[in-house]
A and B are shown apart, each in its own frame.
Chain A
Amino acid sequence: KAGVTQTPRYLIKTRGQQVTLSCSPISGHRSVSWYQQTPGQGLQFLFEYFSETQRNKGNFPGRFSGRQFSNSRSEMNVSTLELGDSALYLCASSLSLPGQSYGYTFGSGTRLTVV
């Protein structure tokens, strides 16, 4: 079965611009999570969506937002980009039900560079 698909793979943006990243989860997975990964901070949780609802949110400013569609596909948006937003953005899908986890399947990520 197809894995988690993230597009685009690479992106270069200028400070102040906004960006939208896309994630298609594994068929049947209703939970989609987003993470930011940087060399200094490691993997940091952004937010999780389950059945089109944001179920949990990490400690990121409001410039970071997301949504999930009825087909479980998800997008995340970053507005007013800053140099520090340069990172690998990872999407992961899971069969997780509330209170349980069976591990995540990650996409290959979107490498965002802000110049």
Chain B
Amino acid sequence: TQLLEQSPQFLSIQEGENLTVYCNSSSVFSSLQWYRQEPGEGPVLLVTVVTGGEVKKLKRLTFQFGDARKDSSLHITAAQPGDTGLYLCETSGTYKYIFGTGTRLKVLA
């Protein structure tokens, strides 16, 4: 069974700092999605990456897909309290319905 490991598990930073979270697997992804979830709500899709080496930017968020399509990262520049939430990666490989373990981010004002 393909597993998605996310790191770090928890992250607490001050407003204005930069951070990177990671999503790794031993298997190749056909595509990868990143979501953010706020307490009491469902996850919200942020981005889909498909091509190895692909980089996508969404305002202060930069998503990178590894060349071998086995890993991905999410970098946030100048974090704001509104970025607080649970960040999840999800893969659409052979086992389509796998979510990562999640990174819980808290940005302090």
Contact = CB atoms under 8 A, between A and B. Distances in A.
A113 B102 CA distance: 23
B96 interface: yes
A43 B40 CA distance: 14
Contacts of A56: 96-97
Contacts, number: 52
B48 A43 contact: no
B91 to A, nearest CB: 9
Given A42-B102, A45-B98, A101 B42 contact: no
A43 B88 contact: yes
Contacts of A58: 97
A100 to B, nearest CB: 7
Contacts of A96: 92, 96
A103 B45 contact: yes
B42 A100 contact: no
B99 A101 contact: no
A65 B99 CA distance: 21
A109 B42 CA distance: 6
B94 to A, nearest CB: 10
A92 interface: yes
B97 A90 contact: no
B43 interface: yes
Interface in B18-60: 31, 33, 35, 40-45, 48
A112 to B, nearest CB: 13
A107 B44 CA distance: 9
A103 B96 CA distance: 11
Nearest to A58: B97
A7 interface: no
Nearest to A90: B42
Interface of A: 4, 33, 35, 42-43, 45, 48, 56, 58, 88, 90, 92, 96, 100-109, 111
Give the top 6 A-B pairs by smallest Cβ distance, nearest first: A106-B42, A101-B92, A45-B97, A43-B99, A103-B45, A103-B33
